[in-house]
Amino acid sequence: MAIDVEAVRRWPFTEIRQRYAARDVILHALALGYGGNPVDADELSFVYGPRLQASPAFATTLCHPGFWVSDPRTGIDASQCVHAEHNVVFHQPLPAAGTVVAQTRVLDVFDRGADKGAVLVFARDLRDAETGVCIASIEHRTVCRADGGFSASAPELQGRKPAALFSAWDQTRLPDHRVAMPSLPQAALIYRLSADPNPLHADPAVALKAGFPRPILHGLCTYGLVSRAVLQACCDQRADGLRALAMRFLAPVYPGETLRVDIWQNGGTLGYNCVVPLRGGLLVATGSACLH
């Protein structure tokens, strides 16, 4: 079976309506480690109290279309798909409780070649169900590693590439901010209650079969940890301070590892690298952010 590019491009998504409560906001924040310092009022504002804030990254869990690429009608080998990049523009801060709607759409499919796979780009706009105001625009990029080469018989599709999510920045100087961000040993077990229930993040046997010594952290949990680092370093812990966050995933993170987020700031524009110091400074994610 081969990817059915036209079917994927026209995939019939239905609108998803989702109601969430303060409990859901808090559960997501606990997966990111908020509340670790019980006397830090700013940190507690994400998990407790009348000033409760929703982490901007919580938007990534709402109205998610699920693992639709596994539908046989797509022709995609879902076992070879990996989440490669993620970008969210935060137009409005999420209220601590509410109802949102979104409808996913495929933006495009790009062929990287028979030996490199295809890039699938899809997006959704998260809107307040009552007012219609757009809260967040979410773009998701997946590499379908076994589905490249489809443009060989279609010259008009050859050489096309998705636009870069972010530009390079000057890394010859020291970062302006360096944030140590520990992940909880049980982070994936908590995070899967908010979003992706894939057993790869919970079942040691499934992880081992996939080539990992133990369950790995969700990519979007890493995304949430980096958003937490940016809020801490650059936004005075205000959820409404973050305008956009783009990330490229480069290597898996294991629950319990401490990340180091190095941030280069130029006004309201940031570039960052996320590394695991105890694995030789392994670069696990990189990207950019914008502040309000």
| Model pLDDT for residues 277-291, shown as the tens digit of each residue | 999 999 999 999 999
Q: Name the band, by pLDDT with cuts 50, 70 and 90, for residue 114.
A: very high
218 is catalytic: no
Active site residue 201: yes
d(CA 229, CA 180): 8
The answer to whether the CB of 128 falls within 8 A of the CB of 175 is: no
Among 64, 86, 140, 201, the active-site one is: 201
pTM: 0.96
Q: Give mean pLDDT, residues 71-98.
A: 95
User: What structural domains and CATH numbers belong to the chain?
Assistant: 5-148+186-240 (3.10.129.10)
| E strand spans, the chain | 16-20, 81-90, 98-102, 105-111, 118-128, 134-144, 177-182, 242-249, 258-266, 269-276, 282-291
Q: Report the percent of the chain where pLDDT is more than 70.
A: 100
Catalytic residue among 196, 203, 218, 236: 196
**272 touches 262 (CB < 8 A):** yes
